[in-house]
A and B are shown apart, each in its own frame.
Chain A
Amino acid sequence: MDKKIISLSLANPEPVNMNGVQKLSVGIGFAGLFIFVLALLNINFPYKAGWLYGSIVFILAGIIIYSISTYKKLPEGIQNNGVYFKSISSKGLWGWVTGIVLTALYIFLYWYPEYLGMGKDGTANKGLVGFFDPLSYFLNGHAATQWFVYGTLYTMAIVGFGYKFILKYRHNKYQLVRTISVMFFQLGFAFLIPEILAKLNPTLPYFSKDIKNMWPLNYYFFEDWHLKGMLGGGNLGMFMLLFGLAMIFIISPILTYFYGKRWYCSWVCGCGGLAETAGDPFRHLSTKKLGAWKFERWCIHFVLVFIVLTTIAVLYTFLGDPANKVLITRNQFTLGVIIFLSVVIAAIFIFRRKQLDTDSKFTLASLGIIVVGVILINFLSGQNNILFIDSYQFRSWYGFAIGSAFSGVIGVGFYPLMGSRVWCRFGCPMAAILGLQQKLFSRFRITTNGGQCISCGNCSTYCEMGIDVRAYAQKGENIVRSSCVGCGICAAVCPRGVLKLENGDEKSRFDYSPILIEKDNIKVSG
């Protein structure tokens, strides 16, 4: 049989033309970006601050005017007309161009910041980084770094495109509130507060002041320099350390129990925030193939094992250094980790054995591998090496391969090619842990509305996490999946009102709708 499916939509529909105001707004936005490009080319602006603020205003104004002229005049509703006809959102020329530009930006950011104008070894900034100096001095009292530039652009993207998203989904209060939340956390907690704290405490060593950025997503939280920074960071440092620990071990499990991992992934997290706002036009590009799901399991758990072992190795080395006055010894530490993980694994086996699906088995196996890894570390490591390799080597590999290449270059650079949640889906170790809990210990589920599904496929197409939502909905089965970030878009685009994100009784989560006959447990493979 003919394997190729010819897409009807390839039959050349009329090109989607922009109206006058849209063109104007794109022009305004690009004018702002063009000023950045000029700055990058080392054009020296008089009244630099004015140009900087002007260009920021231009970009944001461009996005805002574009959004208003696109959505305000249309009746409230789902606005997906022509998504697969527009070059930018259907992997056409503009999609590729955007992907390449973003990727290049990340490559320079991580590995060649000097080309962006980052001053090396104390020399003054030039180019684009230098262009941001006025804002940086104003906010944190220092010259800009490439990360400051990045953070500013990132925040602008979330706030600007967040506004666009809000207009697009203005009929849907869940989307509205959730988007205001990510905009708030990005602008306040990730951007302004840390900068201002840095300005107020000019003498403290560097440590992350973004309290919502938790380990293991923030992979350097437990690295020696960061720990030392916090330990030497006075009250603020101590607060960040304790709050960070509380986030990981207390706050996150409680919130995930009541609301699912969405409380973080699509209400708070910055990576998620960018994916939901700037990444929204690309969400449908995530592949829903079964093969992709299989790959996802391997990939995300590899990252999970990698980061946890790296963190433990680094901590292990840290604890072994007599210069660090710490309360626990290496042996106590490893024993603690082993006991903690064993208790978690045992608890899952005792209480949730029946609910383990392949995803959670992978996560469990990963935890098991970590325990073995910890034991090996303890027995096979010398004073400064872990498994015969310098533990700092591990961490620099992680930083390079995962922290930079994966989460940045592929994670955001490939938005227009692989969808907006590539990192969240295939890479984020935090998503793996929260996912395990969501699957096994949570009140969250997506309820399927009886027999109302018409198998149209809107939900699956627009699920940024590549979940084949329809496969559940058409059987009348609730969706309880580790990877679901609870964005609620499947429920929004469903034309038949079939899906509802809910928190409820844990026991009823796996219920089948009693309306369909198909509820016996006979399996069809695939």
Chain B
Amino acid sequence: MNKINEHIIIIGNGISGITAAREVRKQGGQAITVISAETDYFFSRTALMYVYMGHMKFEHTQPYENFFWQKNNIQLIKALVQKVDTASKKIQLDRGDWLAYDKLVIATGSRPNKFGWPGQDLKGVMGMYSKQDLEYLEQSTKNCKRAVIVGGGLIGIEMAEMLHSRKIAVTLLVREAGFWGNILPPSESAMIGRHIKEHHIDLRLSTGLIEILSDRDGSARAVVTDKGETIDCQVVGLAAGVTPNIDFLKGSGIELGKGVKVNRYLETNIENVYAIGDCAEQQEAIDLRKPVEAVWYTGRIMGETLARTLCGKRTAYDPGPWFNSAKFFDIEYQTYGWVWAKPREYENQFYWEHPKGKKAIRISYHKETKAFLGINCLGIRMRHEFFDTVLNNQLSVDNVISNLKKANFDPELFTTYEKEIKTAFEKDHSNLIPTNNG
């Protein structure tokens, strides 16, 4: 298994690339080189907001101390890969030289979407993805009174929270009728909407961006919305989703779609070339997942899976039941399994909301089989392991309702609402609960 002479090159030092590198190192003695143009060392992209908000310093976003890489014989290169020559198995760096690989892992992540809005390249207009973006934001917001954020998703609300923490007035433009409306059902979306306003963010629903206006120096000075309004601002945040970062692979012979096309083994069409993380596009559907999944967790799982393959144990990517989490200002969100914003025809949904409007759960189950399908939790923490077991074994919704106490993961001494939830459930969905709560 230990092919000492093999050279594995990983492009991208994000969670997927770094996980692959670490897991390969655990199992084998191959030479490993990780190349990234962004930073010297791996850092947690998800924590960039906390640096801007002053909760942490940038160094705190780095999960490993700097000596770690050398100590574990993982070579790091800070450079941009410009070309991949799959025929001669070489890659070219922006500093000019070529590096030879035996196996190549593409883990280049995403970049923010820009939809060709007029003014999208003005000064003061930016996405929020990389460390450079953060530095640019820091610079641009020095004399900023108002910022407009475009995009009602996870990064949009993070940007709103960031700017708000620096006492900058924020307008948040959301195209959908509710915040994160394509993922969150209306009640949850409304709850988050209220909370956003509680934090004095000027939330504008069903509102899109038409163009960004420039001042004389080429800096943004205002945005025009599709409602015909002009909003003065100095900074514009573009947070309308991300796209795989794969332009440099065009012409390499590696099959590309939206992302780098891979099979269940994370192999591309070219032997010894693999893709993982945000930039990979699954050719074959995996349960109800999207072909490109731009989340931290899947990047990590792909990295772990691929490492096994690279070490001689060909392993299929099997992410298990879907889960995700986020935090909207002060309200935490966790989800396990699938709960659709617009219930699918086989779905029954049960919703409970705390009277104060900051906690809620929504449980989805199958109309006929009563199998538990998924849960959204707002303001209540739930145990991952519990729902993983329920979903893997297709247990019934009754089982979940009667075991909510076991499922709860809130800190000790917190008030819990199992009884309320159970009573509410029995009222609306009473035919479900058998006498012996199994």
Contacts and interface: CB of A to CB of B under 8 A. Distances in A.
Contact of A517 (B41, B59, B305): B305
Interface in B14-29: 15, 22-23, 25-27
Contacts of B44: 454-457
B167 A174 contact: no
B47 A449 contact: no
Contact of B54 (A6, A76, A80, A525): A80
Interface residues of B, number: 74
A172 interface: yes
A450 B139 CA distance: 38
B195 interface: yes
B63 A471 contact: yes
Nearest to A474: B63
A13 to B, nearest CB: 6
B72 interface: yes
Contacts of A449: 381, 383-385, 409
Interface string A163-189: 000000001111011000000000000
Contacts of B326: 496
B412 A497 contact: no
Interface string A66-92: 000000000111101111111000000
Contacts of A522: 26-27
B60 A461 contact: yes
A524 B383 contact: no
B340 interface: no
B47 A82 contact: no
A323 B397 CA distance: 76
A107 to B, nearest CB: 31
Nearest to A496: B325
A173 B55 contact: no
Nearest to B336: A450
B330 A76 contact: yes
Contacts of B51: 8-9
A461 B409 contact: no
A66 B53 CA distance: 22
A329 to B, nearest CB: 48
A2 B41 CA distance: 10
B72 A77 contact: no
B161 to A, nearest CB: 9
A524 B66 contact: no
Contacts of B334: 452, 496-497
Interface in A443-472: 447, 449-452, 454-458, 460-461, 470-471
B410 to A, nearest CB: 8
B385 A458 contact: no
Contacts of A84: 54-57
Interface stretch (A21-29, A141-149, A392-400, A487-495): A487-495
B304 interface: yes
A451 B165 CA distance: 29
A228 to B, nearest CB: 43
B327 interface: yes
Contact of B384 (A3, A77, A289, A515): A515
Contact of B58 (A3, A8, A78): A8
A491 B46 contact: no
B65 A289 contact: yes
Contacts of A471: 63
B330 to A, nearest CB: 3
B384 A496 contact: no
B265 interface: no
Contacts of B304: 516-518
A80 B47 CA distance: 14
A526 B72 contact: yes
Contact of A9 (B58, B409, B413): B58
B114 interface: no
A78 to B, nearest CB: 7
A177 B45 CA distance: 35
Contact of A171 (B60, B78, B330, B388): B330
B145 to A, nearest CB: 11
A350 interface: no
Contacts of B352: none
Given A450-B385, A496-B325, A496-B327, A11 B54 contact: no
Interface in A1-45: 1-3, 5-9, 11-14
B56 A515 contact: no
Contacts of B98: none
Contact of A460 (B60, B68, B195): B60
Contacts of B424: none
A2 B23 CA distance: 25
A91 to B, nearest CB: 11
B1 to A, nearest CB: 12
Contacts of B54: 9, 13, 80-86
Contacts of B199: 75
A167 B131 CA distance: 34
A447 B381 CA distance: 13
B47 A457 contact: yes
B138 A13 contact: yes
B327 A495 contact: yes
B55 A80 contact: yes
B323 A452 contact: yes
Nearest to B22: A524
A334 B185 CA distance: 71
B156 to A, nearest CB: 16
Contact of B332 (A13, A497, A500): A497
A524 B71 CA distance: 9
A76 B332 CA distance: 12
28 contacts: A5-B58, A5-B59, A5-B66, A8-B58, A8-B131, A12-B142, A14-B166, A75-B199, A81-B55, A84-B55, A174-B412, A290-B65, A447-B409, A450-B323, A450-B384, A452-B325, A455-B46, A458-B55, A458-B56, A461-B55, A470-B63, A495-B332, A496-B326, A496-B332, A497-B381, A500-B381, A518-B304, A522-B26
Given A456-B44, A515-B388, 5 more contacts: A75-B329, A76-B330, A452-B323, A495-B332, A514-B388
Which 5 A-B residue pairs are closest in the complex by CB-CB distance?
A450-B384, A77-B330, A497-B381, A456-B47, A522-B26
